[in-house]
């Protein structure tokens, strides 16, 4: 472990945040630490607590000009079996290989530290910068996400706040820092399908209606369906069945009902209404007695090449010497809520190889590079 005094400001702050066991939706005073730092350099701070979720909104600058927002979350996923970790999950140490180890190192306390240090430096170097630097931070990204970024965005919309550009600190990099940035995400539409049959004795199948047998051809057709072609930014929409459940537990009983959980990860080539209508048509085609409960987690969004993506790519090139690859792969993020404000959204953070895993870790030196990338992006857009 490197002595604390030898660590850069970014790594010192990252270690401090990692040592706070902020398992969702607990914040463990991570946000208080961030607000203390930002307030000390002139940011106006606005805590926003909704239900059991801590959030804050902070701004520096004037009403005139564009707004660049850093967004992220202080909550982390549970550690899993602690005994399987090489080091204590919340110890936050740098090992002999130069890796910063601890839950949240990649997802995403390292990014939060880089954002804060970059912004401190920027407002000190450019006290009269144009527009605003903003922070939108939540402790509910890894959880249900009802009272976090989504709730803050709703309040900002009600106040007619404007967000032109947003950098979300999600770990976007694949192999090397900055090799990939996310410039969009697919939508996520989940469903619970119920197919009703008639319970009976397996020896008298003519007196029963087996929902497993009835549903199987429809489920096979849904799984084989080609939903769209995708486009230059998105792969084709995918359909996956994640759970099937039926039966009484007895081998001699035809069950009366089957439930299936499935999910669409859909591109901008499909709509929620269109997907729902096509599912209904297939189920009706097979003459099933069915019902579906739909759950929309987020719509797809896309940031096409423009001011934000250009500035981020140029900063990555300037700091690391490498070209970045925009991508819309992966799951959902809170960027889906922020994009509803008409905001250009890009996700840029550390290598994501160990996120949500035992022994989560990133290359410690990457955080200082990430800080410089964030700083250079601020300079390009707001100086």
Q: What residues are annotated to the active site?
A: 75, 141
* Phi, psi dihedrals of residue 104, rounded to the nearest 5°: 95, -5
Q: Which candidate, 56, 43, 68, 205, places its Cα nearest to that of 130?
A: 68
Q: Which candidate, 300, 232, 298, places its Cα nearest to that of 270?
A: 300
Q: What angle do CA 128, 58, 38 make, to 5 degrees?
A: 70
Contact 180, 287 (CB under 8 A): no
Question: In whole angstroms, what is the distance from residue 304 CA to residue 339 CA?
Answer: 12
Question: In whole angstroms, what is the distance from residue 339 CA to residue 346 CA?
Answer: 10
| Cis peptide leading into residue 10 (ω within 30°) | no
- Give the count of alpha carbons within 13 A of 109, CB side only: 37
C-alpha distances out from residue 98 to 23, 56, 101, 290, 362, Å: 25, 32, 9, 56, 9
Strands (E), 20-177: 44-50, 53-61, 67-73, 93-94, 99-101, 132-138, 165-168
Which tokens go with 342? 């008409």
* Phi, psi dihedrals of residue 320, rounded to the nearest 5°: -105, -20
Contact 199, 254 (CB under 8 A): yes
Question: In whole angstroms, what is the distance from residue 119 CA to residue 130 CA?
Answer: 14
Count of all residues that appear for the chain in the document: 383
Pairing mode, if any, of strands 53-61 and 44-50?
A: antiparallel
| Cis peptide leading into residue 119 (ω within 30°) | no
């Amino acid at each position: 472990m490197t002595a604390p005094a030898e660590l850069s400001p970014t790594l010192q702050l990252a270690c401090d945040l990692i040592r706070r066991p902020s398992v969702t939706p607990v914040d463990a005073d991570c946000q208080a630490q961030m607000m203390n730092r930002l307030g000390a350099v002139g940011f106006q701070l606005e805590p926003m607590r909704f239900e059991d979720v801590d959030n804050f909104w902070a701004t520096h600058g004037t009403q005139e000009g564009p707004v660049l927002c850093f967004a992220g979350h202080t909550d982390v996923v549970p550690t899993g079996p602690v005994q399987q970790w090489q080091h204590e999950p919340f110890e936050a140490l740098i090992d002999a290989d130069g890796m910063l180890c601890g839950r949240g190192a990649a997802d995403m306390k390292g990014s939060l530290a880089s954002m804060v240090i970059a912004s401190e430096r920027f407002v000190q170097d450019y006290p009269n910068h144009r527009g605003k630097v903003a922070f939108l931070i939540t402790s509910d990204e890894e959880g249900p996400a009802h009272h976090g970024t989504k709730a803050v965005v709703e309040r900002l919309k009600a106040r007619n706040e404007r967000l032109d550009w947003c950098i979300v600190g999600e770990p976007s990099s694949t192999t090397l820092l900055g090799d990939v940035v996310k410039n969009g995400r697919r939508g996520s539409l989940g469903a619970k399908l119920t197919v009703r049959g008639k319970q009976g004795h397996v020896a008298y199948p003519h007196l029963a209606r087996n929902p497993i047998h009835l549903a199987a051809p429809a489920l096979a057709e849904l799984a084989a369906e080609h939903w769209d072609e995708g486009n230059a930014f998105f792969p084709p929409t995918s359909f996956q069945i994640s759970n099937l459940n039926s039966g009484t537990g007895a081998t001699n009983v035809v069950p009366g009902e089957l439930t299936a959980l499935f999910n669409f990860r859909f591109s901008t080539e499909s709509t929620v209404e269109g997907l729902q209508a096509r599912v209904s048509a297939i189920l009706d085609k097979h003459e099933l007695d069915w019902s579906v409960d739909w759950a929309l987690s987020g719509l797809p969004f896309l940031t096409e090449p423009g001011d934000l993506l250009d500035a981020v790519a140029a900063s990555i090139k300037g700091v690391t010497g490498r070209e970045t690859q925009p991508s819309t792969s992966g799951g959902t993020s809170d960027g889906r809520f922020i994009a509803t404000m008409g905001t250009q959204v890009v996700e840029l953070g550390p290598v994501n190889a160990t996120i949500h895993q035992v022994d989560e870790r990133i290359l410690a030196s990457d955080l200082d590079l990430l800080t410089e990338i964030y700083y250079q992006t601020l300079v390009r857009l707001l100086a």
